[in-house]
């Protein structure tokens, strides 16, 4: 199996980014949601003045802090990895991509960093109201930072508000608001943050279930469950709606990703949505084999999801790869040849400009502009490179959706049974609640695999493939830093889990 | 609002903004200084806890300022970001490594089940406080001494030394700035702890540490400054953009930029005054004068190699690959848009200052760190 993997430098760099991002996404969604849950708990304390709410708040806050630290550590690496491992990318799109990162620092990180200290050490140093305000600021700051980084990611998935400048040979921003209000950015932000709220709710339910199974801290656990299951239920609805929106935009701007996560090789009218399926592992585009060994489809559902029109056509991988005249889709081969012309004309333009040949420069420029939108394709060696890994994308998507459909049910059962004070006798449900957090983590990771693996080979959709975006480094250098981070992050993860378990088993202080 | 500004003015403005953020970071390295003082100033566990809890309330500000420094450079000078981070790969990776281990150490050090033990996390803090600043200092010194890279026609970087940035740490000039930063951070750390902790025995020791570390830092500072004034610098022809070596370039820059010269001299005077007040007058206000002084000196360090037609990220290997604030910057549109966002920086500074005051008006005492809620502290 190892022989099948291309261990080139660019893939090691991708692996390193994936490693950092996946570790980061273990902790960050929990920070996003738990910060709001802590703010809710503290608001109840301030409103009621009851000490038990304060103890409860402090218990969850302590777990929040342990998790927060490692999220900060992995986040730092992500920001700088753009420069260290993807320096060509950083130069080519830094004019657009750098801005959200800088704004994230100014608008969000300082809110978190400043008010975090008040949240943890300010109980006796500032007024009750100011403390509550600080807790809310940490929650808002954390989620604002998610906004900016997801704007940046959304732009990579759907580059808007920019133009290629042939004189500097880079992409430059033309409209700031197009970048930050891009529909992909907005749906990405909403989907990711609400999935964070959902995960944090599962976290609270999971630990509270453990207390109930152990017959400890029952009152605190039930209070926590009520708040978390309401928050989780609302978030689940939001995750579903924004997920639907994300699929709709994906069909518009990344049809290949949509085809990959549905395992749709041949496009069709009234396309069905795969509810369950086992892919044929030897299937490749254009080989005529059946894509599935077994499948169960909901008829017409994919057309509805992708186009919001029953019966409409959804292109498959082969339509996009080889072109489909009937539906006006240009094949990748043709895009590659146009892209190569753009690259050639760009080089001619630079040469003519350096030689002071104005007419030659103008002609080359015209030739470039005509083919500019296919520039990225010119860097692909062959058309099949434009197809992302189908099995990984397909299974991740279906795992995410299956788990995402289960969570609202869990929240509803917990809410109803706790409200009726019957939860403690439902040991089976508490067992499910206990493992639900792990399932939430898996769903979140799977979601990012769909988003990022599904857009391969592009760093920036249709503009810049990963092979061009990389830094000129040796494989050994990237392997070494990959291993450094793997060992360090794993050690820190073990430390985090052990500290959390020890804090949980100690439990909150009894009032 | 900014329509009257020209592109080159935006480029200078953004270099100034980045320099301010970088200088604020240098001031906030009192956190790193405090971390390395842990071994030399604290005599027992209680004193250690006092120090860690005192700087532990500020470490995130330093960290965030560093992240913002990186982000602001990325947004405003993307070619520098790409060239330096992608080129000087190892030095940046080592610096990042030092900051990962810092981020968890405060939170995990005292917690049950922390896997590595409190001593390891304290050692992590020491590494962060010393190695990271040493490397950052050597990296900043290359703004004057140059690096080994070339850029192709598409501005893609090739680093010409296999050590990829770490080679900078073998130059006495670069190293002297690195060592100065490490000891200056300890001076600031000592002054901050003197201000922030109410514990006379420890206060006496931190006040003394401010003086000792300042004296140790002086030879490094002098070596750096003297070298700077006599060395050849990377000058840029403003008409053609050609980079060439000019004798005493940085001395010329100082003379041509009287405001920068004033910042350097007043900054150094403020630091000396702060150390004197702390060590000989038992004043607790040293950190404020020392902090302001550090910011002014920091501004000099960042402005001097960039203004007055100078290449701020020069290449020794290929002079014409050198970066200036004009050839490395973002587009006019992006710089303008970012300038509107930067109007919020004073608001951020205001709430940071307000919270700092609200949290620190009551000094940290032994009673607080041994009280009934001490378990939740660092």
Residue B352 in any domain: the answer is yes
Q: How many CB pairs under 8 A join A and B?
A: 248
pLDDT in the model for residue A73: 87
Q: Tell me if B86 and A83 make a contact (CB, 8 A cut-off).
A: yes
Distance, in Å, from the CA atom of B208 to the CA atom of A245, rounded to the nearest integer, reads 63
3-state secondary structure A186-205: HHHHHHHHHHHHHHHHHHHH
pLDDT at position B1 = 74
B319 has a chain A CB within 8 A of its CB: no
Instruction: Give the bridge partners for A163, in sequence order.
Output: A172
CB-CB contact of A364 with A352 (8 Å) = yes
User: Is residue B120 over pLDDT 70?
Assistant: yes
Strands A162-165 vs A170-173: parallel, antiparallel or unpaired: antiparallel
User: In the prediction, which pLDDT does A79 show?
Assistant: 86
How far, in Å, CA of B228 to CA of A404, rounded? 61
| Phi, psi angles (nearest 5°) of residue B197 | -110, 140
Q: Six-digit token pair at B251?
A: 């001395």
Question: Which residue of A16, A99, A147, A162 is the best one to mutate when testing the B interface, meaning the one whose CB has the most B CBs within 10 A?
Answer: A99
The reported pLDDT for the residue numbered A1 is 40
- Contact call for A113 and B61, based on CB within 8 A: yes
CA B61, CA B57: separation in Å to the nearest integer?
9
Tell me, what's the ipTM?
0.93
Interchain contact B113–A (C-beta under 8 A): yes
Question: Which range is least confidently modeled, A189-193, B180-184, B362-366?
Answer: B362-366
Q: What percent of chain A has pLDDT over 70?
A: 98
- Helix ranges restricted to H, B231-378: 249-256, 258-280, 286-303, 332-342, 345-360, 366-370
Has residue B288 been placed in a domain? no
> A340 and A378 in contact (C-beta within 8 Å)?
yes
Task: Return the pLDDT at B371.
Answer: 77
Residue A92 tokens read as 């080519």
CB contact B131 to A (< 8 Å) = no
Q: Which of A106, A124, A471 sits opposite B68 (nearest CB)?
A: A106
CB-based contact B313:B279 (threshold 8 Å): no
Nearest-CA distance from B228 to chain A in Å? 29
What is the extent of the structural domain holding B97? 7-232+327-376
Q: Testing the interface with A: which of B2, B55, B67 to mutate, by most A Cβ within 10 A? A: B67
Specify whether the CB–CB gap between A206 and A436 falls below 8 A.
yes
B279 lies in some domain? no
Mean pLDDT of A458-466: 95
* Predicted pLDDT of residue A258: 97
Judge whether B29 lies within some domain.
Answer: yes
Predicted confidence (pLDDT) per residue in A393-416, tens digit: 999 999 999 999 999 999 999 999
Confidence of residue A266 (pLDDT cuts 50, 70, 90): very high
Number of compact structural domains in chain B: 1
Per CB-CB distance under 8 Å, the chain B contacts of A107 are 341, 344, 348
Please write the tens of the pLDDT for every residue from B53-108: 999 999 999 999 999 999 999 999 999 999 999 999 999 999 999 999 999 999 99
Q: Which positions 74-103 of B are in contact with A (Cβ < 8 Å)?
A: 74-76, 78-79, 81-87, 89-90, 92-93, 96-97, 99-101, 103
- Is the residue at B31 inside a domain? yes
Residue A3 has pLDDT above 80, yes or no: no
Cβ–Cβ of A99/B338 closer than 8 Å?
yes
pLDDT at residue A284 above 80? yes
Give me the torsion for CA of B66, B71, B76, B82, rounded to 10°: 100
Q: Where residue B216 falls among pLDDT bands split at 50, 70, 90? A: very high
Residue B162 lies in a domain: yes
**Would you say residue B342 lies in a domain?**
yes
* pLDDT value at residue B178: 98
User: For the CA atoms of B299, B305, B310, B312, what is the dihedral angle to 10 degrees?
Assistant: -100
Task: Give the one of B67, B164, B355 whose C-beta lies nearest to A76's C-beta.
Answer: B67
What average pLDDT score do residues B203-219 get? 97
Note the helical H segments in chain B: 7-28, 30-41, 45-55, 59-76, 78-87, 89-108, 118-127, 133-145, 172-196, 200-230, 249-256, 258-280, 286-303, 332-342, 345-360, 366-370
- The C-alpha atoms of residue A465 and residue B375 are separated, in whole angstroms, by 51
What residues contact B37, with CB distance under 8 A and at least 6 apart?
B51, B186, B189, B190, B193, B206, B209
Question: pLDDT tens-digit profile of A198-224?
Answer: 999 999 999 999 999 999 999 999 999
Contacts of B99 in chain A (CB under 8 A): 73, 76
CB B299 within 8 A of CB B20: yes
pLDDT in tens, A61-71: 999 999 998 89
Lookup: tokens for A317: 């991988």
Say yes or no for a CB contact (<8 Å) between B81 and A90: yes
Strand partners, A279: A292
Instruction: For residue B359, give the chain A residue with the closest CA.
Output: A125
Is residue A6 predicted with pLDDT exceeding 80?
Answer: no
When CB atoms are compared, the residue of A130, A173, A502 closest to B334 is: A173
pLDDT (tens digit per residue) in A306-358: 999 999 999 999 999 999 999 999 999 999 999 999 999 999 999 999 999 99
Q: Is residue B256 part of a domain?
A: no
pLDDT given at position B51: 96
β-sheet bridge partners, residue A269: A313
Tell me the shortest Cα–Cα distance from B96 to chain A, in angstroms. Answer: 7
Mean pLDDT, chain A, integer: 94
Q: A149: which chain B residues are within 8 Å (Cβ-Cβ)?
A: none
Q: What is the pLDDT of residues A414-423, one digit of tens each?
A: 999 999 999 9
Q: Does B346 touch chain A (CB under 8 A)?
A: no
State pLDDT tens for residues A121-180. 999 899 999 999 999 999 999 999 999 999 999 999 999 999 999 998 899 999 999 999
Residues with Cβ within 8 Å of residue A429, at least 6 apart in sequence = A209, A413, A414, A417, A423
CA distance B157 to B227: 29
């Amino acid at each position: 199996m190892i022989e099948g993997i291309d261990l080139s430098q660019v893939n090691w760099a991708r692996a390193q980014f994936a490693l950092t991002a996946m570790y980061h996404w273990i902790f960050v969604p929990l920070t996003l949601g738990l910060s709001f849950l802590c703010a809710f708990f503290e608001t109840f304390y301030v409103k009621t003045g009851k000490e038990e709410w304060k103890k409860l708040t402090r218990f969850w806050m302590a777990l929040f802090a342990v998790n927060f630290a490692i999220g900060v550590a992995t986040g730092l690496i992500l920001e700088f990895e753009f420069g260290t491992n993807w320096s060509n990318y950083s130069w080519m799109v830094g004019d657009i991509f750098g801005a959200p990162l800088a704004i994230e620092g100014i608008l969000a990180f300082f809110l978190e960093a400043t008010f975090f200290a008040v949240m943890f050490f300010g109980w006796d140093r500032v007024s009750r109201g100011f403390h509550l305000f600080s807790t809310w600021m940490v929650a808002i700051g954390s989620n604002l930072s998610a906004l900016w980084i997801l704007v940046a990611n959304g732009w990579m998935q759907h580059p808007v508000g920019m133009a290629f400048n042939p004189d500097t040979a880079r992409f430059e921003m033309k409209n700031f608001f197009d970048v930050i209000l891009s529909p992909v950015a907005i749906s990405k932000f909403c989907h990711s943050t609400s999935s964070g709220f959902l995960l944090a709710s599962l976290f609270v339910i999971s630990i509270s279930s453990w207390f109930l199974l152990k017959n400890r801290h029952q009152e605190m656990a039930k209070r926590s469950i009520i708040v978390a299951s309401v928050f989780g239920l609302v978030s689940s609805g939001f995750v579903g709606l924004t997920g639907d929106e994300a699929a709709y935009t994906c069909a518009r701007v990344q049809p290949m990703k949509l085809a990959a996560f549905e395992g749709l090789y041949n496009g069709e009218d009234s396309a069905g949505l795969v509810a369950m399926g086992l892919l044929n592992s030897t299937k490749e585009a254009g080989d005529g084999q059946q894509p599935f060994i077994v499948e169960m489809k909901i008829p017409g559902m994919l057309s509805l999801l992708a186009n919001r029109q029953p019966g409409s056509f959804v292109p498959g991988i082969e339509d996009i790869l080889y072109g489909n005249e009937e539906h006006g889709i240009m094949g990748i081969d043709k895009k590659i040849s146009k892209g190569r012309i753009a690259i050639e004309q760009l080089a001619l333009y630079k040469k003519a400009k350096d030689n002071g040949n104005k007419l030659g420069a103008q002609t080359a420029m015209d030739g470039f502009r005509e083919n500019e939108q296919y520039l990225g394709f010119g860097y692909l060696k062959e058309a099949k490179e434009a197809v992302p890994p189908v099995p990984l994308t397909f299974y991740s998507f279906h795992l995410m959706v299956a788990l995402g459909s289960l969570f609202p049910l869990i929240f509803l059962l917990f809410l109803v049974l706790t409200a009726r004070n019957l939860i403690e006798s439902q040991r089976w449900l508490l067992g499910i609640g206990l493992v639900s957090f792990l399932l939430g983590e898996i769903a979140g990771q799977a979601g990012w695999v769909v988003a990022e693996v599904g857009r391969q080979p592009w760093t920036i959709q249709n503009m810049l493939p990963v092979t061009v975006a990389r830094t000129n480094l040796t494989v050994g250098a990237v392997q070494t830093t990959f291993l450094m981070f793997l060992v360090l992050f794993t050690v820190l993860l073990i430390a985090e889990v052990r500290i959390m378990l020890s804090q949980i088993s100690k439990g909150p202080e009894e009032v | 609002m900014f329509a009257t500004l020209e592109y080159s003015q935006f480029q200078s403005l953004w270099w100034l903004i980045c320099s301010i953020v970088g200088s604020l970071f240098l001031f906030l390295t009192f956190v790193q200084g405090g971390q390395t003082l842990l071994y030399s100033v604290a005599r027992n566990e209680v004193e250690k806890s006092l120090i860690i809890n005192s700087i532990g309330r500020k470490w995130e500000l330093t960290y965030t300022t560093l992240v913002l420094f990186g982000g602001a450079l990325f947004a405003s000078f993307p070619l520098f970001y790409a060239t330096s981070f992608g080129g000087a790969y190892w030095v940046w990776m080592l610096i990042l490594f030092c900051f990962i281990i810092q981020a968890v150490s405060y939170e995990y050090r005292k917690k049950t089940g922390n896997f590595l033990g409190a001593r390891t996390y304290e050692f992590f803090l020491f590494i962060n406080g010393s190695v990271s600043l040493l490397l950052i200092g050597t990296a900043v010194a290359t703004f004057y001494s140059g690096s080994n890279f070339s850029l192709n026609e598409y501005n893609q970087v090739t680093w010409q030394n296999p050590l990829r940035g770490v080679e900078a740490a073998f130059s006495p000039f670069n190293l002297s700035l690195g060592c100065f930063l490490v000891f200056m951070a300890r001076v600031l750390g000592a002054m901050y702890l003197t201000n922030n902790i109410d514990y006379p025995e420890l206060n006496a020791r931190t006040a003394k540490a401010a003086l000792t570390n300042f004296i140790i830092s002086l030879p490094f500072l002098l070596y750096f400054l003297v070298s700077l004034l006599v060395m050849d610098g990377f000058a840029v022809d403003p008409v053609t953009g050609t980079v060439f070596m000019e004798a005493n370039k940085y001395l010329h820059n100082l003379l041509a930029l009287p405001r920068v010269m004033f910042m350097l001299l007043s900054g150094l005077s403020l630091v000396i005054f702060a150390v004197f007040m702390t060590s000989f007058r038992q004043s607790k206000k040293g950190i404020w004068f020392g902090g302001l002084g550090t910011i002014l000196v920091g501004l000099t360090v960042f402005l001097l190699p960039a203004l007055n037609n100078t290449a701020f990220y020069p290449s020794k290997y290929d002079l014409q690959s050198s970066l200036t604030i004009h050839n490395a910057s973002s587009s006019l549109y992006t710089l303008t848009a970012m300038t509107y966002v930067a109007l919020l920086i004073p608001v951020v500074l205001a709430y940071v200052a307000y919270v700092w005051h609200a949290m620190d008006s009551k000094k940290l005492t032994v009673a607080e760190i041994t009280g009934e809620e001490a378990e939740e502290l660092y």
